[in-house]
Amino acid sequence: MSEPWKILMYIAADNSLFDHALVSLRQTIEASRLGTSEILVQFDGPDQDSAARFRVAGGRKAVEWEAPAGYTADRAKRLEHFLDWAAEDDKKSAGKSPIFLVLWGHGAGLDHVYVYATASAPTDALPPKAGVKDFFDAGDANIYVKDIALARVFRDFTKKIGRKIDVLGLDACLMGLAEIAHEVRESVEIMVSSDEDIPDASFPYREIVGAMETNSSLDGKTLAQLIVDKYVATYNPAKDTTAVSLSALELSTCDAFAAEFKSLVKALLAGLTEETSENRIVRAREFSRTQSEPTYIDLFVFLTELTESFDRSSDIYRHAGNSLHHLYILHHRAAPKDEMINSHGLAIYFPKNLDPEQVAAASPTIFPVQPAASETLPAPQGGGVKTPPHIPDKSVLLPGGATLPIKSYQILWSEYIKLEFNRTTGWSTLVRFFLPEIPKGL
């Protein structure tokens, strides 16, 4: 491409990732000395009441906007406002520059809820939350953008600029899901994401932005592959024992995959009348569980297991093989390799079961507790990842050193079934068969 890239970064750092966000911002600023890319940043942090927008160029940042008092805490609206500003700025360049959009922060994949046990801080300092709000974690782990809202914000943005987002970088944990890719496919050409945890040190922006600045002819596919390669090299086992995985997904083929996957789902549902078929599906599910989140399975491994378990004459074998052929993983790398499965970087939701508490949360009827407000946040601990802890007996560290124990974590089933991927393929109908605990009305 002859036009320089326009880099848009939305950094959700009004949380425990603040110090790491400063590093990512500093790396981006330093790399901007090398070229002419337009770099626009919205930085939320250090607390929820602080947000600012910067124009970055020539190794410096200039403040373009600061949040007024009482600025919305709704993360979806904040992202929308940032992209509205970027769309207005885009008109100045006649809308020709390719776009690299980064969403930086905590992530957990699908719409979810963290249920908090009684906090160790005084109860009057921790008022009960009145519901679940929208986007990556901020102080309260339940403030994030819902997947459907994310797709809507992207659609509105691409209508305003008259073209798709060339590369979307999701620098957050567990975002490499077929459901999310399908939801945003109309607005995004290539999505770079991980179906595993992302270390809190994040993408290596000095290397990524530096490469973009010194080679403006990079096209979207080349850039996406470069991001994957630079990221994995940063966490090479020779330097770090952190297990990482990152993929570039070409979303233009999402619909072709969904059409074939729909046929596979029909074949699997038909096969459930036979006990041997049900056992084979369960085995394929268990053999393909991802490392970081056991309710997600690796799609490539799952489909491969189905082709190895069913006879070549069966519809399940045929449609599983065809689905593999249409899988839209453009480029994937992982390190280290000695895991339970050889991850291929695109996951899908297939939990083993839901306990009664998860069923209640699917409504949702359990309201978590919101941490106390504070001017400062605790420094992050080294070696962490960009998702709040979500197994029993873990805690969110609050300002001042208090802890907020997480009782459980669960995907909101009532929100999950609304995703277009499920409406198109019927996948949630198959998953529902294995979740008898869910009330019939959900």
Residue type (1 letter), 214: T
Helix (H/G/I), strand (E/B), else coil: 326 = coil
Q: What is the tens place of the pLDDT at every residue in 272-317?
A: 989 999 999 999 999 999 988 889 999 999 999 999 999 999 999 9
Q: What is the mean pLDDT of residues 133-150?
A: 65
- Asked if residue 392 has pLDDT above 70, the reply is no
- Asked if residue 139 has pLDDT above 70, the reply is no
Q: According to the model, what pLDDT value does residue 122 have?
A: 35
CA distance 200 to 249: 22
Reported residue count of the chain is: 442
Percent of the chain at pLDDT > 90 equals: 62
Residue type (1 letter), 132: V
Are 421 and 183 contacting, i.e. CB atoms less than 8 angstroms apart?
yes
Task: Copy the structure tokens of residue 410.
Answer: 């669960």
CA distance 227 to 55: 22
Higher pLDDT, 434 or 390: 434
Confidence of residue 36 (pLDDT cuts 50, 70, 90): confident
Helix (H/G/I), strand (E/B), else coil: 107 = coil
Are 5 and 218 contacting, i.e. CB atoms less than 8 angstroms apart?
yes
Q: According to the model, what pLDDT value does residue 156 have?
A: 98
Q: According to the model, what pLDDT value does residue 1 have?
A: 47
- Asked if residue 322 has pLDDT above 90, the reply is yes
- Asked if residue 378 has pLDDT above 70, the reply is no
Are 174 and 197 contacting, i.e. CB atoms less than 8 angstroms apart?
yes
- Closest C-alpha to 195, from 237, 264, 245: 245
Q: According to the model, what pLDDT value does residue 47 have?
A: 85
Higher pLDDT, 95 or 92: 92
CA distance 129 to 210: 42
Q: According to the model, what pLDDT value does residue 385 have?
A: 78
- Asked if residue 391 has pLDDT above 60, the reply is no
How would you classify residue 285: left for phi > 0, otherwise alpha for psi between -120 and 50, otherwise beta? Answer: alpha
Task: Copy the structure tokens of residue 230.
Answer: 């630079």
Percent of the chain at pLDDT > 70 equals: 78
CB neighbours of residue 237 within 10 Å: 14
Q: What is the mean pLDDT of residues 340-344?
A: 81
Q: What is the mean pLDDT of residues 86-91?
A: 94
- Closest C-alpha to 66, from 44, 88, 87, 47: 44
Percent helix, percent strand, percent coil in the chain, to nearest 5: 40, 20, 40
Instruction: Give the contacts of 239 (CB within 8 A, at least 6 positions apart).
Output: none
- Asked if residue 416 has pLDDT above 70, the reply is yes
Q: According to the model, what pLDDT value does residue 337 have?
A: 61
Bond into 380 cis (ω within 30): no
Q: In what order do the strands lie in the sheet with 51-57?
A: 60-66, 51-57, 38-44, 6-12, 99-104, 165-171, 188-193, 244-250, 329-335
Higher pLDDT, 395 or 287: 287
- Closest C-alpha to 354, from 423, 406, 428: 428
Q: According to the model, what pLDDT value does residue 388 have?
A: 60
Q: What is the mean pLDDT of residues 360-388?
A: 43
Mean pLDDT of the chain: 83
Instruction: Give the contacts of 242 (CB within 8 A, at least 6 positions apart).
Output: 199, 235, 383
Are 170 and 105 contacting, i.e. CB atoms less than 8 angstroms apart?
no
- Asked if residue 39 has pLDDT above 90, the reply is yes
Q: Could you write out the DSSP letters of every residue in 7-42?
A: EEEEEE-SSTTHHHHHHHHHHHHHHGGGS--EEEEE
Are 307 and 317 contacting, i.e. CB atoms less than 8 angstroms apart?
yes
Q: What is the tens place of the pLDDT at every residue in 181-204?
A: 999 999 999 999 999 999 989 999
Confidence of residue 271 (pLDDT cuts 50, 70, 90): very high
- Closest C-alpha to 390, from 112, 47, 82: 112
Q: What is the mean pLDDT of residues 315-330?
A: 98
CA distance 54 to 57: 10
Highest-confidence segment of 131-135, 365-369, 395-399: 395-399
Are 404 and 119 contacting, i.e. CB atoms less than 8 angstroms apart?
yes
Q: What is the pTM of this model?
A: 0.87
- Asked if residue 369 has pLDDT above 50, the reply is no
Q: What is the mean pLDDT of residues 169-176?
A: 96
Q: What is the mean pLDDT of residues 18-29?
A: 96
Residue type (1 letter), 57: A
Confidence of residue 435 (pLDDT cuts 50, 70, 90): confident
- Asked if residue 240 has pLDDT above 60, the reply is no
> How far from chain centre, in Å, is Cα 235?
19
- Asked if residue 129 has pLDDT above 50, the reply is no
Higher pLDDT, 409 or 74: 74
Q: According to the model, what pLDDT value does residue 116 have?
A: 63
